[in-house]
Amino acid sequence: MKSTCTLSRNQSKSAENKTSIENQEPAVLGTSYISMAQSSPTMMWITGPHNREFFINDHFLEFLGFPPSDAGFEFWKNAIHPKDRKNTFKRTDSSFEKKKPYKIEYRLRRYDDQYRWVMDNGAPQFDAEGNFIGYLRSLVDVHEIKELEHRKGQFITAASHELKTPVTSLKVYLHLIDEYINEHHLAPYTEYSHGAITQLNKITALIDQLLDLNRIQSSSLYFENTTFDFCELVDEVVKKMQLLHPQREITLQGDCSAQVFADYERLLQAIENLISNGIKYSAAKENGKVEVVMGEDTERVYLTVKDYGIGIAEKHLLKIFERFYRIPGKTEETFPGMGIGLYLTRKIIQKSGGEISVESDYGNFTEFTIKLPVSKDT
């Protein structure tokens, strides 16, 4: 909530401060550049090659409560929430060193002492000769969006927990019915009960994905790492997926004997996601096989999962690992999904010290590759 009293006091300070901040290196800024920055609804500041500001627009000054003209940079540093400082400085300093763009979210204290979530974007600037001249930084107040996201997360967790209990009971009842059908040789009904169990398993998997998603958001996705044979795990996943999809061809090639240090169940889940996507997105194709290849070198084990399905256009390749990202399009939208699987898969691979990449030829094939470090303690 804005305090009118504070604002009017600060507004009078604005005029004094604004000119002195602009004056520090005015030659670099054109008048139209300044007026554009001043009329922008975004908080903007421009730093020189030594990461010191020489222009801060009014909107940003107003947010900070019009700090004294000589305190701009330090003021920003001190206004960051103590819990976010370390990470923010690490990220901005390292981008500054490499002269790379960055995007970071942190809490920043507003003029009324309220901490607000802001999204800080930094773009390095170069002159005509390619010399680095500083950063153009823009900050957007994303507090409301963050709060809505938080509430959405809470809702998803609550709804998933509420669903989990009846679904678990349903599973027990269905298994009892299935047993009864088997004992009494009621053959035609076996198919129905198996069908119901398969569908219920799909619902359980969806609920688990939603719960995992929220665990990631709240940093409580725990990993119990042990050392195990990577290829045995791949073998197990492929066998399991083949059993679940007997009508589809899943091939496994290659070999390895290396051990990895990771959470067995989580890694299994990640590989399962890749294979089930391969199966799903190639279902309508004539060549519906999914090829899994594994191997190793001295440092890493690797796995590729390739399908000959709908493929992914280049512009979507990086985005598919984002949360809830589903590729728009007539063909793509015919497949069910929530855009969570690859997000979770990437998190799991990263948490296991590995990396994941994707290659695709739209309309022809998609190939995911994961690489994981070999565990040296055998």
CB of 323 to ligand ADP, least distance (A): 8
By CB under 6 A, is residue 320 in contact with ligand ADP? yes
Work out which of 45, 60, 281, 308 binds ligand ADP, going by CB under 6 A. Answer: 281
Site string for ligand ADP, 258-277 (x = CB under 6 A): -------------------x
Reading the block at residue 356, the tokens are 């994941």
Which residue's CB atom is positioned nearest to ligand ADP? 337
Q: How far apart are CA 107 and CA 88, in angstroms?
A: 10
Q: Is 303 in the site for ligand ADP (CB under 6 A)?
A: no
H-assigned helices in the chain: 4-22, 31-39, 58-64, 72-79, 82-98, 143-183, 187-217, 230-244, 264-280, 341-351
Of 13, 143, 164, 326, the one binding ligand ADP (CB under 6 A) is 326
Does 148 bind ligand ADP (CB under 6 A)? Our answer is: no
In whole angstroms, give the CA distance from residue 309 to residue 288: 7
Least separation in angstroms between CB 362 and ligand ADP: 9
Contacts 24+ apart (CB under 8 A), 71-74: 72/21, 72/45, 73/47
**Contact stretch for ligand ADP (CB under 6 A) within 50-58, 130-138, 174-182, 304-312:** 304-312
Can residue 61 be called a binding residue for ligand ADP (CB under 6 A)?
no
- Give which of 361, 340, 187, 327 is closest to 270, Cα–Cα: 340
Of 37-45, 51-59, 172-180, 324-332: span binding ligand ADP (CB under 6 A):
324-332
Confirm or reject binding of residue 71 to ligand ADP (CB under 6 A).
no
Nearer residue to ligand ADP within complex by CB, 58 or 272: 272
Query: Is 340 near ligand ADP (CB under 6 A)?
Result: yes
CA atoms within 13 A on the CB side of 239: 6
Is 343 a residue that touches ligand ADP (CB under 6 A)?
yes
Q: Is the Cβ–Cβ distance between 160 and 186 less than 8 Å?
A: no
What DSSP string describes 212-232?
Answer: HHHHHHTT------EEEEHHH
User: Interface with ligand ADP includes 342 (CB under 6 A)?
Assistant: yes
Q: Give backbone dihedrals phi and psi of 304, rounded to 5 degrees, phi first.
A: -120, 145
Give the H/E segment covering residue 53.
strand 53-56
Residues that bind ligand ADP (CB under 6 A): 277-278, 281, 307, 309-312, 320, 325-327, 332, 337-343, 366
